[in-house]
A and B are shown apart, each in its own frame.
Chain A
Amino acid sequence: MQLWYSLVDLLLPFGWMQHEFMKNALLGVLLVTPIFGLLGTMIVNNKMAFFSDSLGHSALTGIAIGVILGIKNPIWSILFFSVLITIAILIVKEANTASTDTVIGVFSSTAVALGIVILSRNGGFNKYSGYLIGDLLSISPSDLLTLGIVFVIVISLWAVIFNKLLISSMNQSLARSRGIGVKFYEYLFTIMMAVIVTISIQWVGILIISSLLIIPAASSRNIARNMRQYHFYSVLIALISGLAGLILSYFWGTATGATIVLITSGFFALTFVMKLRLG
Chain B
Amino acid sequence: MKHHKCANSECKTCECGLCCTKINNFGVKRSGIEILKDVNLHIHCGDLTAIIGPNGAGKSTLLKAILGDISHTGELQFLDAKNKGTTRPAMGYVPQKLDLDSSSPTSVLDLFAAAHTNIPIWFTYPKKMRERVRESLARTQGEHLINKRLGELSGGELQRVLLALALDPIPHLLLLDEPVSGIDQKGLELFYETVSILRDNYDLSIILVSHDLSLVAEYADRVAFVNNKTIECCGTPQEVFGNVKVIQTFGLGWANRFQRDEKDRVDNAIMV
Contact = CB atoms under 8 A, between A and B. Distances in A.
Query: Which residue, A45, A160, A170, has most C-beta atoms of chain B within 10 A?
Result: A170
A158 interface: yes
Contact of B175 (A158, A177, A230): A177
B92 A228 contact: no
Interface string A36-61: 00100100010100000000000000
B109 interface: yes
Contacts, number: 99
Given A226-B109, A229-B105, A167 B122 contact: no
Contacts of A45: 100, 104, 106
Interface residues of B, number: 40
B120 A159 contact: yes
Interface in B191-249: none
Contacts of A174: 93, 95, 98, 162, 165
B118 interface: yes
Nearest to A44: B104
B166 A167 contact: no
Contact of B95 (A162, A173, A230): A173
Interface residues of A, number: 33
B69 A166 contact: no
Contacts of B165: 174
Contacts of A167: 111, 114-115
Interface string B62-85: 011001110000000000000000
A227 B107 contact: yes
A229 B106 CA distance: 10
B28 to A, nearest CB: 14
B118 to A, nearest CB: 6
A171 to B, nearest CB: 5
**Interface of B, helix, strand, loop or mixed by DSSP:** loop
B55 interface: no
A41 B121 CA distance: 13
Nearest to A170: B98
Interface in A199-239: 220-221, 224-232
Interface in A8-63: 38, 41, 45, 47
15 contacts: A41-B122, A163-B118, A163-B120, A166-B114, A171-B98, A176-B67, A177-B69, A177-B175, A178-B115, A225-B149, A226-B147, A227-B106, A227-B121, A228-B122, A228-B124
Given A45-B100, A96-B31, A170-B99, 8 more contacts: A38-B122, A47-B101, A163-B114, A169-B99, A171-B97, A171-B98, A226-B149, A227-B110
